[in-house]
Amino acid sequence: MIVFDLQCPQGHRFEGWFDSHDSFEEQKAGGLVRCPYCDGTDIRRMLSPVAVKRSQAPEPTHQSQTGPIDYQRLAREVVKHIKKNSEDVGTEFASEALKIHYGVSEKRNIRGSATQDEEKTLKEEGVEFLKVPFPVSEDKESN
């Protein structure tokens, strides 16, 4: 089971539970995913917190496998994944994001930095982006 945060064009946010990502896409294509507030069917997924549910019960052990989540480790893994799967365009982020948005540059995952004014421009142009604070690396590795 997977939970998605959803939104309609009217800005109504709600949650939907699906068997899989494919199940969501099939139901959406069939007009079955509807806003509970306005009954709109032009629904899009929003970024949501990560949740993991085991599909099978864990093998029994002498110690419990449940415990507190190591959020620092999780954050490091997220940063590692972003770095591995995106191109660092540095301070050219806003410019490159606009080029990708308008089809001037090839579509790809990028990361970098932008000023508040650049972020405002991106929002006004309809460019979707996510701000992820990267921790300063102790080993002087570039962010």
* Structure-block tokens of residue 26: 């099939």
Using N-to-C axis directions, what is the helix angle for 93-101 and 116-124, rounded to 10°? 10
Strand ranges for the chain from DSSP E? 2-7, 13-18, 44-46, 87-90, 110-112
Q: Please identify every stretch of the chain with a pLDDT value under 70, giving residue numbers as ranges.
A: 1, 47-67, 136-143
Strand ranges for 19-122 from DSSP E? 44-46, 87-90, 110-112
Most distant pair of Cα atoms in the chain: their distance: 58
* pLDDT tens for each residue of 8-45: 999 898 888 888 888 888 999 998 999 888 989 999 88
pTM of full prediction above 0.95: no
In the chain, where are the structural domains located? 2-46, 71-124
